[in-house]
Amino acid sequence: MKRKISEKLVAWKQSDSKKPLMLFGARQTGKTTSILEFAHANYDQVIYIDFYKQPQMKAAFNGSLEPAAIIATLEALLRRKIDAAHTLIVFDEIQECDRAITALKFFCTDAIGYDVVAAGSLLGVHVAREGSFPVGYVDMLTMHPMDFEEFCWALDEGMAFDLARQSYRSFAPCALHERLMELYQSYLLVGGMPEAVLAHANGRPLHEVREIQEALRVAYVADMAKYATNTDAAKIIECWESLPSQLAKESGSTKFIWKYVASGAKAERYSSAIDWLVASGVVSKCTQISEGVSPLKSFENPSSFKIYVADTGLLSCAYDATPADFEEKDNRSARFRGGMAENYVMQQLVVSGLKPYYWGMQSTHEVEFVIKLEDGVVPVEVKSGRRVASTSANRFAEKYGCPYIIRVSGKNFGADGNVRSVPLYTVGLIGER
């Protein structure tokens, strides 16, 4: 399946100043597949080493970390010569070999002719925990689940999304609005994990897609148990399993509340668990800001935040949601639909490279997301359906002199004063040049 990261990998290869590349991302987002497809399309030779499946390859890093010595040992282990000019060396699951991570520094400084890519499912957790990271000596990319546009490509709906992009640029109504909203509803259920998307694209029913998603959720929990201490693992799992209720609270607020994790849970005991989840790539964190003034990070309130699942399909699986659950017939499920829409918007904004924050409190006025664009600081209001009445974003825009408001909803494109109506299926285009 076509992935946007392919273009970034090609750009890295063509860069005159490239360093060894570290590719971060959660399990099963497609890192290895994308790397190998890129490698075979752009190099005559590929040296692929998986330190988890091939622990014997760690021997190449037991002695000197000089690249010449490492290459010589790898050639002996693999019984093949490595031609620097035409070869990509791939170190997969590199978190299993600390000395290989350290060696990337020397591949940067002493072996400029070698192209090296390193990846790992829990590389972010390992780096955060062990501190073994060659700062300044590597290039970095993060691979996320498939965004909505990639989902459309997989379903052969790329031309429909192209029309949506044209409408986004002109803010003229999109002729395929209803069709794209149907695809959006499908994306909420399926998400962007490649195996689940492929199953859906091949016409497999939702319950089979759910089996794939559930297996992945089990694998994530297994990682939490395997790569953390027993005490930490229990807290990490509790935080992870609280997310469906965190995003569908009766109050309507999606702010992360410790009491939903466990009785008596407090930040001082559980904050490291949140840090682990964020570092693993399975969740995204959105922090509250006190002022809508650039730079937004200078106004962060670290103690107030929201946590979103990195893949909306996995959240939908946790709810065991069905297509009927997203219908607007029952107001009692509005908070579930709202939480799902917020999670989706966060996922698309993060994948597109933006850094979302939120402002205010649900008890008074709250803006779901605040982002910095070229035009300035902009509030992003999220509505799961077509009812869009709200005053929070207006108050925010007036207070901080924002150039406009982005209102994301089920409505078609349009503009009303300083409010830009953006359909849910084009959230990933916000900020696109």
pLDDT, tens only, 139-166: 999 999 999 999 999 999 999 999 999 9
| Per-domain residue ranges of the chain | 5-142, 148-429
Q: Mean pLDDT of all residues in the chain?
A: 93
pLDDT in tens, 322-340: 999 998 776 667 889 999 9
pLDDT of residue 386: 67
Q: What is the pLDDT of residue 252?
A: 74
Q: What is the pLDDT of residues 87-144, one digit of tens each?
A: 999 999 999 999 999 999 999 999 878 999 999 988 888 887 776 678 899 999 999 9
Contact between 412 and 163 under an 8 Å Cβ cutoff? The reply is no
Task: Please name the fold of domain 5-142.
Answer: Rossmann fold (3.40.50)
Phi and psi angles of residue 392, each rounded to the nearest 5 degrees, phi first: -60, -45
Name the strand (E) or helix (H) holding 21.
strand 21-24
In tens, the pLDDT along 356-415 reads 999 987 656 889 999 999 999 999 999 887 666 668 899 999 999 999 999 999 999 998
Distance CA 407, CA 220 (A): 34
- Single pTM value for the model: 0.94
Kindly report the number of other CB atoms within 10 A of residue 288's CB atom: 20
Cα 214 to chain centroid, rounded: 19
Q: b/e map of 182-211 (b: 16 or more CB within 10 Å)?
A: ebbbbbbbbbbbbebbebbbeeeebeebbe
